[in-house]
Amino acid sequence: MLNCAIVARMSHPDLNLLVTLDALLCEGSVARAARRLRLSPSAMSRQLARLREATGDPLLVRAGRGLVLTPRALELRERVGRMVEEVEAVLRPADRLDLGRLVRTFTLRTSDGFVENFGPALIAKIGIEAPGVRLRFVPKLDKDSTLLRDGSVDLETGVLGRSQSPEVRTQALFRDRFVGVVRVGHELCGGEITPALYAAGRHILVARHRLEKGPIDDALEMLGLEREIAATVGGFSPALALARNSDMIATVPERHTGNLRAGLLSFSLPVPIPEITVSMLWHPRLDADPAHRWLRECVRATCVKPPSSPRSE
């Protein structure tokens, strides 16, 4: 009879334990998980014992005065969180979104170029449809997805990278090509810009990390050419500021820097460089959120129409 009872428990697991497991894995503490679920510490300890039996893993182990997650617990954390969120979404009544009454602040992590070129149109669109919504833009200094995962950021834009978490949702917004930019009166302003003339100039490299070469250098190397990097900056805005006030050449994405290039000469690169795809990224916990779905549609609609670009001098 005992063996039958064990088999029955294994074939019909207590799904309520998922909520407990999610709290324990998120909090990393029996006491904090108990407070989160409004249970006593002793009740939470009993639940942890059941989870250990069910999973065959200690899940939380002592480390000094605190507890740490086991490798198995770390592996389960994202999966269990998604499962609980999906179950809660299924059991939650679907509220009709009333944009006129929506009061919410969305945090967007983007580049300066995105804010400069798409921010005004996006803010205007949101102001018309949902006057109570505010946007908070924060700089994107890396491609790590931690801020999306912990809820500090609602939406990101950028080029996808290897460091992003696999669970993050993505949607392509637009493709962009790189162009060369110099001040008006620069020696490249007149006549054809050949690979040799382009390489002979002094260049501004945009790199957030210690990169000395990129696709442009690879393309020039195929032609037996090499450019001189006179300065390295961490973004397109400072690159264009330097180009505006010197004889250096900046190479930047065209759509991302449309307004920033006002009053400068932009030209097609004389070597083939792959285009980039700019996407928006969000955590799956927000997939079913009506307000977030509306925000994503606003961003997509704003980026479908190219921003007004200044005429190249």
- Both 170 and 295 in one domain: the answer is yes
CATH code where residue 225 lies: 3.40.190.10
Closest CA to 291 of 101, 163, 122, 164: 101
Which structural domain range is residue 261 located in?
Answer: 178-274
What is the predicted pLDDT for the residue at 77? 84
Residue at 188 is within a domain: yes
Predicted pLDDT at 95 = 63
In a domain, 96, yes or no: no
145 and 33, same structural domain?
no
Residue 141, in any domain of the structure: yes
Q: Are residues 172 and 287 in the same domain?
A: yes
79 and 23 fall within a common domain: yes
- Is 212 found in the same domain as 83? no
202 shares its domain with 191: yes
Residue 241 and residue 200 in one domain: yes
Which pLDDT does position 107 carry in this prediction? Answer: 95
Please identify, among 63, 91, 119, the residue that sits at the C-terminal boundary of a domain.
91
Angle at CA 167, nearest 5°, toward 162 and 172?
65
Which of 56, 91, 126 is the last residue before a domain boundary?
Answer: 91
Contacts of 15 (CB under 8 A, 6+ apart): none
Residues ≥6 apart with Cβ < 8 Å to 81: 22, 25, 26, 285
One domain, residues 157 and 184: no
Do 249 and 190 belong together in one domain?
A: yes
Pair 64, 43 in one domain: yes
In a domain, 226, yes or no: yes
Identity at 31, one-letter amino acid code: A
Residue 258 is assigned to a structural domain of this protein: yes
Query: What's residue 2's pLDDT?
Result: 41
Model's pTM, two decimal places?
0.64
Predicted pLDDT at 84 = 82
- Domain-embedded: residue 224: yes
Whether residues 184 and 265 fall in one domain:
yes
Q: Are residues 148 and 216 in the same domain?
A: no
List phi, psi (to 5°) of 146.
-60, -40
Q: What is the pLDDT of residue 313?
A: 44
- The per-residue pLDDT string of the chain (313 residues; one tens digit each, 9 = 90 and over) reads 444 444 444 456 677 788 888 888 888 888 888 888 888 989 989 988 998 988 888 888 888 878 888 888 888 888 888 888 777 777 766 567 899 999 999 999 998 888 988 999 999 999 999 999 999 999 887 777 788 888 889 999 988 876 666 778 999 999 999 999 999 999 888 788 999 999 999 999 988 766 667 889 999 999 999 999 999 998 888 999 999 999 999 999 998 888 889 899 999 999 999 999 999 999 988 988 999 999 999 999 999 865 444 334 4
Measured between alpha carbons, how far is 296 from 284 in angstroms, rounded to an integer?
Answer: 13
Provide the pLDDT for residue 7: 42
Domain CATH for 41: 1.10.10.10
Please answer whether residues 213 and 185 qualify as being in contact, where contact means their C-beta atoms are separated by less than 8 angstroms. Answer: no
Q: For 50-116, list the strands marked E by DSSP.
A: 60-63, 66-69, 104-110
**98 domain-assigned:** no
Domain count, the chain: 3
Task: Specify the pLDDT at position 83.
Answer: 83
Residue 244 lies in a domain: yes
